[in-house]
Amino acid sequence: MATKVSTRDHWEKFWQERKEIDQVYSNDERIYQNLKQITNFENKKILEVGAGSGRDSLKLFQDNARVFVLDYAPQSLEIIRSLNQQENAALQCVQADAFQMPFPDGTFDIVFHQGLLEHFRDPLPLLKENFRILKPGGLLLVDVPQRYHFYTIIKHILIFFNKWFAGWETEFSVGELTRLMQKTGFETVHSYGNWMRPSLFYRIFREVFKKVGIQLPLYPRGFSPFRRIRDKVRFLFSKKRLAFYTFLDVGVIGKKKQNI
């Protein structure tokens, strides 16, 4: 059996089918919010690798950063160019291979990627390339699927039957991700996690209904008193280390050591 991989064709098809970007779930500003805890963005030079829709980068641009977006899928960059026009933004689009980026050493203050690292069987070369293009003391944010989640089971069943949208994908615990970044030369300065909102099951049902011509809302209204209680419980639990084994996604922010 041939080894399953994630290819450019998978991503071209993915973004071709998602040109209506307002119907694609966003990251709820978690990239922006977690970076904001560590640093400000004024006049910073920032790169998003594997930019997808570019919406995370747009938020950083609106905070007066100079932002570059890199992707190897032309369809993704077309969506970002449309976003530039709609939002009167100036995200600088670069089509290139994330393993051989066309930037000199020490170019950026911040590099980040979400939903990228998990698509490569050997993640270290990508992290080393991130390290290379960062300035000493620069920050790298990596956001990935968390290993111990029901999503992981569903995903690997779909991969086995060649039904996974991206061809192949893995996942990480927060400890695994932290060790990978430390191995590359980063000092961990922050870690975080995120629960899926709306839930995984709602999103599955929404996709099923879409295939039969029924369009459910992107975000269900829900019951306000219950939602407030749920959010308060989640907030309190999120401060516990155990929560990292229940999140759908985890992220680690590392700082490039200046003496490497």
**Alpha carbon 231 to its chain's center:** 22
Report the distance separating Cα 203 and Cα 216, nearest Å: 9
Q: What is the pLDDT of residue 122?
A: 95
* CA angle, 40 then 231 then 190, to 5°: 35
CA distances from 108 to 13, 130, 133, 135, 173 (A): 30, 9, 6, 6, 27
Question: What residue ranges do the domains of the chain occupy?
Answer: 8-195+249-256
Q: What is the pLDDT of residue 259?
A: 63
Kindly report the pTM of this predicted structure: 0.90
Q: Does domain 8-195+249-256 have CATH number 1.10.3720.10?
A: no
HSE (side-chain half, CA atoms, 13 Å) at 173: 8
Task: Please state, rounded to an integer, the average pLDDT across all residues of the chain.
Answer: 89
Q: What is the pLDDT of residue 22?
A: 67
> 3-54 pLDDT, tens per residue?
788 888 887 887 777 767 666 667 778 999 999 999 999 999 999 999 888 8
Contact indicator for 154, 181 with CB cutoff of 8 Å: no
In this predicted structure, which of 19-28, 85-94, 196-205, 230-239 has the lowest mean pLDDT? 19-28
> 97-156 pLDDT, tens per residue?
999 999 999 999 999 999 999 999 999 999 999 999 999 999 999 999 999 999 999 999
Residue 189 has pLDDT above 90, yes or no: yes
Report the distance separating Cα 34 and Cα 238, nearest Å: 14
Report the distance separating Cα 20 and Cα 58, nearest Å: 17
